[in-house]
Structure 1
């Protein structure tokens, strides 16, 4: 793999991973349009690890507060730490639900579904969900202290939809969180923090399927370039999305999803089965 190919894949993965527009769809499109060879699990692992590292660093203070509060409440039962403790349990519970359902549903995601028409349809679904939550649903005011188990379960179900090719994980999770009545700040925070264990878990599962020699075949330097690019642009994507949601509306992402869906459906080979 060339340095330029690794750089392109890293940039595309990083900038789209946390935006509600499906990073999978963009990686596929970039690979097809530029005739890039996407080298399977090795590159995917490096790209995902870079994105997770970006979330961890950006939300490091939130993570430190949650982890500290979790253990402090277990030890001292201080009411001040109860919110962090409960919020930690919600993240763990949502991760378990997503993991179990994801493993089950993955067995039903047949290779024949991994085609441009399916990805195009999934992008339309993502866009429609964003429009629904923006235009036809009243935003709530729940936060970490007032959300409950039902909210957690619904968000976990939303996140599970991302096993379908072309469905945005961040988009479906964010829509589910807003639909339960979480305010925007809490919905975004919950979505990003959930990404850490979910992406790490899926990455760990990929490692066992690695074939010996793939790292050497791709080259350590291209992998390093892809990792750095994905990390930098993941940080940019996180900052930009949070700032965007404070000032603008999700409907713009919906329009983008529709345009991209039309491009995928009408201009990519419909008979192509994509190795995701």
Structure 2
């Protein structure tokens, strides 16, 4: 891998990880543009770690509040710690559902399904879901103090669907959260905080993918630069998305998904089996 390619992959992964446009689809498209195939999933997981580090850094106060409140409520049963305790429980419930079902479903997603047609169809589904939640569903007003176990289950199931190549994880969790009547700020915060255990958990399960071969194949310096670039653009993507959603609509992401879906379906050989 050249330094230029390492930088491009870092930018693509970072900027698309938390936008509702499917980072997996964009990484696959970038691979095809460069005619490049990763040796296993190690490099993608490595970049995901840079993205989750960006989330932890940006939301560290929220994360610490949830962790602190979670354990303080267990110990002291104080009323002021009840909301962060249950918010932490709902993060754990959604993560558990995603982890268990994700591992089961991943066995059924055969290589034959990882095609341009599937990627295009999945991006289209993501776009349609974003339009539905924006145009045909009344905006909710519930915050984390009124969340319940059903919210966590539905969001966990929505997040599980993102194992399908082209379905956006952030898009699925946002749509599911808004569908359950959460307000936009709570839905965005819940989606971002859910990314931390999900990405960390999948990375731990895939530790056997890491090897000296990956280091030699990509190069130590390229790995370092791609990590820094991915971290920076992940942080940029988080800040931009939060500010964007305060004054704009999800429908613009839907239009973007449709455009990418058309490009994938028309410009990439349909017989190509994508490595995702």
Classify the TM-score, shorter chain: over 0.9
Q: Is the 8 A contact 1:122 1:164 kept in 2?
A: yes
Task: Specify the alignment match of 1:221 in structure 2.
Answer: 221
Cα distance between partner residues in 2 of 1:194 and 1:62: 12
Task: Specify the alignment match of 2:112 in structure 1.
Answer: 112
Task: Specify the alignment match of 1:18 in structure 2.
Answer: 18
Cα distance between partner residues in 1 of 2:142 and 2:153: 15
Matched, 1:246 2:269: no
Task: Specify the alignment match of 1:54 in structure 2.
Answer: 54
User: 1:212: how far off?
Assistant: 4.3
Task: Specify the alignment match of 1:274 in structure 2.
Answer: 274
Task: Specify the alignment match of 1:128 in structure 2.
Answer: 128
**Secondary structure in 2 aligned to 1:200?**
helix
Relative to structure 2, which stretch is displaced further, 25-34 or 170-179?
25-34
Task: Specify the alignment match of 1:137 in structure 2.
Answer: 137
Task: Specify the alignment match of 1:152 in structure 2.
Answer: 152
User: 1:74: how far off?
Assistant: 1.1
Task: Specify the alignment match of 2:88 in structure 1.
Answer: 88
Q: Where in structure 2 are there 5+ consecutive unaligned residues?
A: none
Per-residue CA shift, 1:165-224, capped at 9, x if unaligned?
110000011000000000000000000000000011111111123344321232111111
User: 1:98: how far off?
Assistant: 0.5
Per-residue CA shift, 1:24-83, capped at 9, x if unaligned?
111111111233343432211210100000000000000111111111111111100110
Task: Specify the alignment match of 1:67 in structure 2.
Answer: 67
Q: Is the 8 A contact 2:43 2:214 kept in 1?
A: no
User: 1:2: how far off?
Assistant: 1.1
Cα distance between partner residues in 2 of 1:37 and 1:272: 13
Q: Is the 8 A contact 2:141 2:182 kept in 1?
A: yes
**Secondary structure in 2 aligned to 1:239?**
helix
**Secondary structure in 2 aligned to 1:48?**
helix
Cα distance between partner residues in 1 of 2:16 and 2:121: 18
Task: Specify the alignment match of 2:193 in structure 1.
Answer: 193
Q: Size of the alignment, in residue pairs?
A: 276
Cα distance between partner residues in 1 of 2:66 and 2:60: 10
Root mean square deviation of aligned Cα: 1.0
Relative to structure 2, which stretch is displaced further, 252-261 or 67-76?
67-76
Relative to structure 2, which stretch is displaced further, 258-267 or 25-34?
25-34
Cα distance between partner residues in 1 of 2:83 and 2:72: 11
Runs of 4 or more, structure 1, over 4 Å off, are none
Task: Specify the alignment match of 2:231 in structure 1.
Answer: 231
Q: Is the 8 A contact 1:9 1:226 kept in 2?
A: yes
Cα distance between partner residues in 2 of 1:173 and 1:70: 22
Cα distance between partner residues in 1 of 2:65 and 2:228: 27
Q: Where in structure 1 are there 5+ consecutive unaligned residues?
A: none
Per-residue CA shift, 1:88-110, capped at 9, x if unaligned?
01101110011000011111111
What's the TM-score once normalised by structure 2's chain length? 0.98
User: 1:265: how far off?
Assistant: 0.3
